[in-house]
Amino acid sequence: MDEKVSHLVNMAVSQINAGMVILDADHNIVLWNRFMQIHSGISEDDIKGKNLFDRFPDLKGSGIEKKIDSVFLLKNLAFTSWEYRPYLFKFANTHSVIGDEEWMQQDCTFSPMIDESGTVTHICLSVFDATNTATYQKKLLRASGSLMKQRNTLAEINKKLEEAQNQLLQSEKMAAVGQLAAGVAHEINNPVGYVNSNVSALEGYINELLQMLAAYEVCEPALDQNNALTEALEQAKKSIDLDYLKEDLIDLLKESKEGLDRVKKIVQDLKDFSHVDESEWQHADLHKGLDSTLNVVNNEIKYKAEVIKNYGEIPEIKCLSSQINQVFMNLLVNAAHAIEERGTITISTGTKDNGVWVEIEDTGSGISQEKLPRIFEPFYTTKPVGSGTGLGLSLSYNIIQKHKGIISVESEPNKGTRFYIWLPIDIEFDDNSNANVA
Amino acid sequence: MIKSILVVDDSKMSRKLVIRALPEEWDAPVYQATNGLEALEIFHDKSPDIIFLDLTMPELDGFGVLAALQKEDNKVPVIVISADVQTEAYERAIGLGARAFIQKPMSPGDVRKVVQELHLL
Amino acid sequence: MIQTKEQFDEDRRDALQEVVNIAMGQAGDSLAKLFGTFVELSIPKFHLCDVNELNQELSKNSTYAEKMTILRQPFSGQLRGEGIALFNNSGVNELAVLMGYEGEVTYSNEREMLLDVCSILVGACLNGVASQLGISLSYTAPTIITKDTTTEKFFKPESIQWRYAMIMEVCLTLEQYDFTSNMLLFLSEESFPPLMNKLDQMLDEL
Ligand SMILES: Nc1ncnc2c1ncn2[C@@H]1O[C@H](COP(=O)(O)OP(=O)(O)O)[C@@H](O)[C@H]1O
Ligand SMILES: [Mg+2]
C-alpha cells in the first residue's frame, strides 16, 4: 500500500463513527480508536499494551473469553447484541437529552485478523452504538405488550359474553319450561276439577250411607237372638271390621281432599310463576307471588331452612309479576345457599311511602365488608364454577330498576344477610319510556 | 522396495489426490478400495507393500481395517489419511498400529515427506 | 432449476462431500479445543430439494419433531445462504460452563450463549469449506427466530423465500454434557453455479 493510502486508512480507523479495538493473542490492547477514547475517557497511550480483562474486569467470566478463543481457533466471527448484553463497555448514553437508556447500548463484533500463513494473529473488535435501535425496539415491545394485554382483556370479555349468552339461553329455556308448565297445569286442571267435584259428591253420599247404616244398627236388637240371620250379620261385621272401616273412610276422604288441594295449589303456583299469559304490567298480589315462588323452590329450601312469614297488609301493585317472582326466587335461593347447616329465612312485608316493601332475611354466612359492594356486579360470584353464575343479583337489580324500585342489602358475616326491596304501588312511566319492553 | 500400493478411501476425489501425490520413484501398480471390507479383500489377494487408509468409511471403517491387520499380526506399513483430526482419532489409529497420520486436506508434499520419514523410499 | 439435480453429478457430489467432511473434521477439532471436551460431529448429509419437499425431507430425522429453539445466521459472498441451528433446549447449563459464563444462567446469558454456539457452528463448517474452495465469506450476526417450535411449523413453504436449495445437515453432540444441536446450512439457488465451478476446478487439478 502506498504511503498516502495507508495514511488515509489510519485516518479512517481514527474517524470512523464506531469503536475499534485490536487485541493480540494475549488479549492485550494494540489499538484503541478515537471513538473508544472519547467515550471511555481513556487515551490510547494509557491503554495500549494493557490486558483487556485487567482494564475491564467486568468482562471476565461472562463468556467473552470463549468468544475470543473461538475467533482465534475457528476464524469465525463472534457477536454480542444489545438485546442480551446491553453493552460491552459502560459508556454514557449518547442520547442523553431525550431517551431513557442510561448507558450506550452496543452491538459488537469480534473478527479474526489472519496472516498469510492462515493463522489468526489479532482480533478486531468493533463496537456500534445501538442506543437508537434499542430505544425504539423497547418502545415497540412495550406497545406490543400493552396490545397483548388489551387482547387478553378482550378475550376475557368475549368469554363473559359467551357466558351471558348461555345464561340467556338458560332463561329462554326457563321460559319454555314455564310455558310447558302452564300448558300442563291447564291440562291437569280439568281432570282435577271433576275428580274434586266427584270426591265432594262422594263425601256427601258416604255420609248419607253411614247415616243409613246407623239407622239399621238401631234396628238390630229387635231381631230374634238365635236366629241364623243374626249370626250371619255378626259374622259379616267381624270380617269387614266395620268400626275401623267407618273411621278410616272419613280419614281417607279427608286425605284425598287435602291431596287434591295440593295438586290445585301446585298447578296454580306453576301458572302464577310462569305467567306466560301475563308479560304485561298488571296489578298483582306480592304475597301470592312469594308463596308460589316458595313452592317452586321448596326443594332447595326445605332441608336448609325454616321459612317464617311476617306478612303485613299490602295492596296489589302494578308490576311484571313473573319478573318480580324471579327476583324473589334469586333471593330465596341465595339465602338457602348461604345457610350451611340449618337456619331460618324470614320474609316480611309492609307498606311505605306509596309503595310496598319486602324483606328477605337469612341466618346464613353473611357477606364481608369488602365483598358487599360487588355482589350486584354481573358475573360476581363466590360459588364454585358450575354452581354460581353471578348473574342472579345483577338480574334482580335490573328488574327492580325497571320497576323504579329500590333494592338494598345489609349483612354481617357469620350472622346473616337481609335484602330489602321497595316497589311503588303505581309505577308511572315517562312518555318516552320503554319500560314496557320486558 | 515397493512393488504394489493400496489406496483406501470412500471418496473418489481423495483417492485421486493420494495417487497423484505418490512418489514418482514408485513405479508400481495401485489398487483402490472404497471401504474397509474391500480393502481387506484386495489386501489378501494382492499383498500390497503399503496402504493409504481413510478412517471414516461405510461398511468397515479404517479402525476396523487396522484392527484386522493387527490381529493377523501383519506388519505392512499403513498410513492413515483422515479428516477426523481430533486427538482421539489420532491416538486410536496409532494405537492400532498405523505408522503415520496425515490430516486432510493434505497438501501434495505430505505423502512424500511421510514415506521419507518412514524410510520407505 | 430441474437441471440442478443433474448438474450435481456423482463426481461433484463426491468432491463436495469430501470437502465438507474435511471441513467438519477441522471444525470438530477446533470445537474440541475450544470446549476442552470430545466433540462428535455427524457425517454431513446433503439434500437438494424443492421448498415443498423440505418438510418431508426433514421429517426423516425424528429429532425435528421435538420443540426446539431455532436460530439463524446469514452468510454472503460467492456462496450465499443461511445457517440454521436447532437446539433441543437440554444441557444448556452445562454448556454455559463450557462457554465461560460464570454464575447463574440468566435468560439473557442463555440467549447469547445459543447465539454464540450458532455462530461458532456455522463459522466452523463454512470456514473450512470456504478455505478449501479458495473463497471468502462474510457473516451477519445470528438471531433467534423462535423458541419452542417444531421444524414443520417453522419451515412453512409459504414463508420461505427460495424455491430450491441445497441443504447440508450436521449434528453436533457433546456426549458428556447431554448437549445436541442440529445445523442446517441452506445454500441458495444462485450459489450453485459458482459452487459447481469451484468443484470443477478442484476436479480438473487431479
Ligand atoms: N344471602 C346471601 N348470603 C351470603 N352471600 C350472598 C347472599 N346473596 C348473595 N350472596 C353473594 O353474592 C354473590 C352473587 O350472587 P348472585 O348474583 O345471585 O350470583 P350466584 O348466586 O350465582 O353466585 C354470591 O356468590 C354470594 O357470594
Ligand atoms: Mg344466586
Lowest mean pLDDT among A121-125, A163-167, A338-342, A430-434: A430-434
**C-alpha B114: how far from chain center:** 12
**Boundary-marking domain end, from A275, A299, A329:** A275
pLDDT at A98: 61
**CA R_g for chain A:** 46
Q: Is residue A39 part of a domain?
A: yes
- Across the interface, do C206 and B104 touch by the CB < 8 Å criterion? no
Is a pLDDT exceeding 80 seen at residue A165? no
pLDDT at site C173: 86
Percent of chain A with pLDDT over 70: 89
Q: What is the pLDDT of residue A115?
A: 92
pLDDT given at position A346: 96
Residue A67: which pLDDT band, with cuts at 50, 70 and 90? Answer: very high
Beta carbons within 8 Å of B16's beta carbon, 6+ residues apart:
C206
A331 shares its domain with A369: yes
Same domain, A287 and A397: yes
Question: Do A81 and A196 share a domain, yes or no?
Answer: no
Cα distance between residue C19 and residue A434, in whole Å: 86
Ligand nearest to the CA of A391: 1
Distance (Å, whole) CA B102 – CA C25: 13
Q: Which domain holds residue A297?
A: 278-438
Assign C188 to helix, strand or coil.
Answer: strand
Q: Which domains does chain C have, with CATH numbers?
A: 2-204 (3.40.1550.10)
**Domains contained in chain A, number:** 3
A183 and A293 housed in the same domain: no
Nearest Cα residue to C30 out of C141, C127, C130, C113: C127
| C82 Cα to chain B: minimum distance (Å) | 24
Q: What is the pLDDT of residues B72-81, one digit of tens each?
A: 988 899 999 9
A283 and A419 in a single domain? The answer is: yes
Residues A292, A175 share a domain:
no
CA C180 – CA A277 distance, rounded (Å): 76
- A177 pLDDT band, cuts 50/70/90, is low
Boundary-marking domain end, from A232, A248, A275: A275
Number of domains comprising chain B: 1
Tell me the average pLDDT of chain C. 83
pLDDT > 60? residue C91: yes
Q: Which residues of C touch A64 (CB under 8 A)?
A: 100
For the segment A410-426, the average pLDDT, to the nearest whole number, is 95
My answer on whether A116 and A235 are in the same domain is: no
Same domain, A190 and A252: yes
C-alpha to C-alpha distance for A37 and A208, rounded to whole angstroms: 128
The enclosing domain of A58 has a CATH number of 3.30.450.20
CB A389 near ligand 1, within 6 Å = yes
**Would you state the cell numbers that stand for residue A61, as one nine-digit string?**
467470566
If pLDDT is split at 50, 70 and 90, which confidence band does A222 have? confident
In this model, does residue B93 exceed pLDDT 90? Answer: yes
* A289 and A437 fall within a common domain: yes
pLDDT for the residue A237: 84
Residues in chain C: 206
* Dist. CA A154 → ligand 2 center (Å): 26
Cβ–ligand 1 contact at A335 (below 6 Å):
yes
pLDDT digits (tens, 9 = 90+) for A334-371: 999 999 989 999 999 999 999 999 999 999 999 999 89
Q: What is the ipTM of this complex?
A: 0.88
C-alpha cell at A189: 286442571
In the reported structure, the alpha carbon of residue A426 is separated from the centroid of ligand 2 by a whole-number distance in angstroms of 28
pLDDT at res. A438: 36
| pLDDT at residue C2 in the model | 46
Mean pLDDT of B7-36: 92
Final residue of a structural domain among A105, A129, A153: A129
Q: What is the DSSP string of A85-151?
A: SS-SS--B-S--SS-S-SB--EEEEEEEEE-TTS-EEEEEEEEEE-HHHHHHHHHHHHHHHHHHHHH
- Specify the pLDDT at position A435: 44
Does A48 share its domain with A176? no
User: ∠ CA(A19), CA(A21), CA(A22), 5° rounding?
Assistant: 155
The answer to whether A68 and A123 have CB atoms below 8 angstroms apart is yes
Statement to judge: residues A249 and A313 lie in one domain: no
Segment B83-106 mean pLDDT = 91
B37 pLDDT exceeds 70? yes
A405 in any annotated domain: yes
Task: Looking at the CA of A412, name the nearest ligand.
Answer: 1
Tell me the per-residue pLDDT of A107-120, one tens digit each, with 9 for 90 and over: 999 999 999 888 99
> Which residues have CB under 8 Å from B82's CB, separation 6+?
B54, B55, B56, B62, B89, B93, B101, B102, B103, B104, C25
CATH classification of the domain holding B23: 3.40.50.2300
Atom in ligand 1 nearest the alpha carbon of residue A393: 17
Chain A: residue whose CA lies nearest to C96: A63
Range of the domain at B32: 5-117
Instruction: Average the pLDDT over A317-341 and give the result.
Output: 91
Q: Identify whether the C-beta of residue A29 lies closer than 8 Å to the C-beta of residue A21.
A: yes
For A32-46, what is the mean pLDDT?
94
Report the C-alpha gap between C126 and C79 in whole angstroms: 10
